[in-house]
Amino acid sequence: MANRQVVLHTIVFETPFVWKRIKPRSKGESFVGVCEQLGITAEGDTQEELQTAAQEAMDLLFSSLAKHGDATNFLTKRNIPHRIETRVLHKDLKLGGDEFVLPPRGVIQTTTQESVTASL
């Protein structure tokens, strides 16, 4: 069993993301949403489905950015106001070999699990 320190890094956005809704031109076509700030699009058969798809698109983008460590660089290049909050969730968390840690859900949250050496 290893002692771990779990650190939570949260990126807090200082501004909302604006989506432009493009209405279908004819019956049977989908609504399309474009978020120029993030460079992503989404699609839905109804306005409600479009909003759900837009949220899912942002979640996927932010999850990918966090996973690859590119979030801060991406947001800075796009001039998206944000700040990073860091806090230690657990200083001395004992994990077995088949256990892992998940952070509370948030906009962008990443955790690092750092080995902590114990002094005897």
| Boundaries of domain holding 64 | 2-113
* 118 assigned to some structural domain: no
Task: Encode pLDDT of 62-106 as tens digits.
Answer: 888 888 888 889 999 999 998 888 877 666 666 666 766 565 555
* 87 assigned to some structural domain: yes
Torsion over CA: 29, 30, 31, 32 (sign):
negative
54-75: string of b/e by CB count within 10 Å (b at 16+)? beebbeebbeebbeeeebeebb
* 119 assigned to some structural domain: no
Alpha-carbon span 75 to 89, nearest angstrom: 25
* 102 assigned to some structural domain: yes
* 32 assigned to some structural domain: yes
* 120 assigned to some structural domain: no
On whether the pTM is more than 0.75, the answer is no
Number of structural domains the chain divides into: 1
Quickly list H helices, 28-117: 47-68, 71-77
* 57 assigned to some structural domain: yes
